[in-house]
Structure 1
Amino acid sequence: MTDAEWAEVRAALPVPGWLEGRGGRPEGYCHRQMVDAVRYLVAGGVSWRAMPADFSARDRVYAFFRRWRDKGWTAEFHDRLRDRVREAAGRDREPTAGIIDAQSVKAAASVPAATRGFDGGKKVNGRKRHIVVDILGLLVTLVVTGGVRHRPGGPGRHCWPGCASGTGASRGSGRTAATPATSSTSPEACCGSR
């Protein structure tokens, strides 16, 4: 990370509690080195154990990352940087429109069955990434799910969360003959009155 990039990043970092007088022990490592190490791992897809010796000890870097993740600081940091980019582009800090997309990804055999599922529309056994980006293409949110856990037309298919008929198709996974071509979310419009 260049000095100019670090100046922008440093201003967006959460302020440690001990600097604001809220107590706590001063940290014994440089935030720039920690952020660089995490960026290296993410960009290269490197495992924690394969971290080069040029960075701080991997257990310290992992503890830094874990603490930020668990306290929600990683998301807060991302949101602050996104807000700065949006303001520099002359837009409001909060997006008012978004673009939603989902992608099914095959999972390796080593991925536990509890964290994957079957997407019947794409015939993929794995995980599903759901993203929302703003008009500038900046990430708003990302959710990874275990795919769709049912097959088209199979048992347990419900076309509306409150539906118990099991005859329709879930929204977003394609339509079957039993699913009406309406966009209403009411159970009567989706499954027919009973």
Structure 2
Amino acid sequence: MGRGPALPVPGWLGGRGGRPEAYCHRAMLDAIRYLVDNGIKWRAMPGDFPPWDRVYAFFRRWRDHGLVREFHDRLRGQVREKVGRDPEPTAAVIDSQSVKADAVVGSDSRGFDGGKLVNGRKRHVVVDTLGLLLGVIVTAADIGDRSAARVLLEQVAGAHHRLALVWADGGYTGSLVEHCLAAFALVLAIVKRSDDQKGFVVLPKRSIVERLFPHLMRSRRLVRDYERRTTSAEAMVYWSMTLLMTRRLARTRPQRA
């Protein structure tokens, strides 16, 4: 299957009106990805990139119109095709990660996770069996996993109609299992650790999603939540994943002799 363009086509190029933008999309993308990777402030954007306020306006427009997710999803489809998978997944894994929030994060979108002892926000994610992101929502850290999962799995099931199975840990038990089957036609399979297991144990399937979190923490902008809006925090996760996927797509396989 041939690969289409990963970047959304600007309106003026697609005959939808408007005028050409002052800066090319590649320069804007490079600037945002530099910010996410290195954790700088918007106003600290190096002079090699377009002005910081123009880059932020681009980030905000792509966030509000869902273009960053569209870009991300096209890359994910290309990565899956590269390894011989169908672009649309049939199985996934769900989990969450609590992170400390910066002082700019208001009390209306932050909370205290008593289990992790973290005052901040929580990233709820669903990934495919390659560890690639299918969906994310960011909430206050005191929001329960099951409550957030109802919203997140509805979004993911609506976007990925072939998805039939989702693995989760013991924190997602209860009425959520029946709700997923009735509302989304999803089988929520709970992966529990045995009662006689002690210490750190790698659980089948759950390790797939747990590999995502170290990648996110390598993006310095995501080590702590610096975003005033949860939608911006979600967009930062998508931008971080584009770094991972473009590296995978650029990697050439060694040719056999």
Residue equivalent to 2:115:
121
Distance between the aligned counterparts of 1:139 and 1:12, measured in 2? 16
Aligned-residue identity in percent: 66
**Match for 1:91: what amino acid?**
R
As a proportion of its length, which structure holds more helix?
2
In structure 1, the residue corresponding to 2:123 is in which secondary structure? Answer: strand
- The structural deviation recorded for 1:108 is 4.5
- The structural deviation recorded for 1:20 is 1.8
Residue equivalent to 1:166:
none
- The structural deviation recorded for 1:71 is 0.8
Count of residues in Structure 1 that have an aligned counterpart in Structure 2: 152
Distance between the aligned counterparts of 2:175 and 2:58, measured in 1? 47
Pick one of 16, 19, 22 that aligns with 1:22: 16
CA-based RMSD of the aligned residues comes to 2.7
Deviates more, 1:141-150 or 1:69-78: 141-150
Pick one of 25, 31, 41 that aligns with 1:37: 31
Residue equivalent to 2:60:
66
In the alignment, does 2:140 pair up with 1:141? no
After superposition, the Cα gap between the structure-2 partners of 1:112 and 1:133, relative to the gap in structure 1 and judged at 3 Å, is same
**Match for 1:56: what amino acid?**
P
- The structural deviation recorded for 1:100 is 1.2
CA shift digits 1:19-75 (9 cap, x unpaired):
122211111212111111111111001110000111111111111111111111000
- The structural deviation recorded for 1:125 is 2.7
Pick one of 102, 107, 116 that aligns with 2:101: 107
TM-score (ref. length: structure 1): 0.69
Gaps of 5+ in 1: 1-7, 151-160, 162-170, 174-181, 187-194
Distance between the aligned counterparts of 1:121 and 1:146, measured in 2? 14
Distance between the aligned counterparts of 2:76 and 2:174, measured in 1? 33
Gaps of 5+ in 2: 145-149, 151-169, 179-257
Distance between the aligned counterparts of 2:22 and 2:175, measured in 1? 57
After superposition, the Cα gap between the structure-2 partners of 1:122 and 1:61, relative to the gap in structure 1 and judged at 3 Å, is closer
- The structural deviation recorded for 1:123 is 3.6
Residue equivalent to 1:5:
none
Higher relative contact order (Cα pairs below 8 Å, separated by 6+ residues): 2
Deviates more, 1:101-110 or 1:77-86: 101-110
After superposition, the Cα gap between the structure-2 partners of 1:60 and 1:109, relative to the gap in structure 1 and judged at 3 Å, is closer
Report the structure number with the largest CA radius of gyration.
1
Distance between the aligned counterparts of 1:106 and 1:45, measured in 2? 15
In structure 1, the residue corresponding to 2:68 is in which secondary structure? Answer: helix
